[in-house]
Amino acid sequence: MPTRSALRTEVRRLLNDVNSIRFSDGQINTWLDMGNSDVVTRLGPFDIAMQTGTLVGSDTFASSEPNYQLNVNTIRIKELFLEDEDDKERKIEIITQEELATRYGSTWADNNTSNLGEPQVAYQVDYNVFGLYPRPNLASNGNTWRTYYYRVPSAFASDSDTPIFLDALHDCLSWYCVSRGKAQLGDMDGSDWALNRYETLLRIFYSSTAFADELKAFRWDVS
């Protein structure tokens, strides 16, 4: 399993910069981080994190907060749990806003006390934002929400770190970096060739690997 140091050495070999004349370690490390994030985001999340928060509830519509934001490195939510009014945790279904309108009517977002209550479902607002319906009422104020989400991996912390995805894909990181290096040198043809090699390796791996359905596209896990 190649480390960041080994990957950087390979990138220098491919860029004919074994003596570190053209590119600094910092530049190549940045490219490795960018490629690492790109692979995980495109082929499927592998890294799961947890985040918690509290509901802002009120019996006044304008003072009730329906939307809650996760960290910016979120790819998508896996599961969401809420404390209910009896302080017992339960899993909340996550649906789209279109499904919300079908289920609860087109007036679900209107300023109306009928849209306040104990939240029963969550819905997608943005890639890292979920909303709750009904909007939390006063009895829900301060209750805890807990979510597990797939995230973009953190940057390599040291030269001994390795990518979190499968070994078969590690070679593609080198070609991602080579594309960046060639572009910096003004060799756009070489950059395009290296980027195409990177894309080809991703396609080959994706087409020959059996992924779970939830890893094949950006979507919210509602199972």
Neighbouring residues of 215: CB distance < 8 A, sequence distance ≥ 6: 43, 44, 45
pLDDT in tens, 72-126: 888 889 999 999 878 889 999 999 999 999 999 999 999 999 999 999 999 999 9
pLDDT at 212 over 80: no
| pLDDT (0 to 100) of residue 45 | 56
| pLDDT (0 to 100) of residue 42 | 78
Greater model confidence, 218 or 197: 197
What predicted TM-score, i.e. pTM, was given to this entire model? Answer: 0.64
Q: Which of 152, 150, 153 is nearest to 50 (CA)?
A: 150
Greater model confidence, 104 or 210: 104
pLDDT at 64 over 50: yes
Q: Which of 105, 83, 103 is nearest to 92 (CA)?
A: 83
Could you tell me the pLDDT band of residue 151, with boundaries at 50, 70 and 90?
confident
Q: Tell me if 197 sits within 8 A of 180, measured CB to CB.
A: no
| pLDDT (0 to 100) of residue 40 | 77
Helices 25-43 + 4-14 axis angle, to 10: 110
Mean pLDDT computed over every residue of the chain: 87
Question: What end-to-end distance do the CA atoms of the chain give, in Å?
Answer: 34
Helices 188-208 + 170-184 axis angle, to 10: 160
Domain coordinates in residue numbering, the chain: 4-45+154-212, 47-151
| pLDDT (0 to 100) of residue 214 | 43
Q: Which tokens belong to 98?
A: 């279109």
Among 3-17, 94-108, 116-130, 151-165, which is the least confidently predicted range? 151-165
pLDDT at 36 over 60: yes
pLDDT at 152 over 90: no
Greater model confidence, 181 or 162: 181
| pLDDT (0 to 100) of residue 85 | 76
User: Which secondary-structure segment (H or E) carries 102?
Assistant: helix 97-104
Residue 105, phi then psi, degrees to nearest 5:
95, 160
Give the integer Cα–Cα distance in Å for 129 and 69: 4
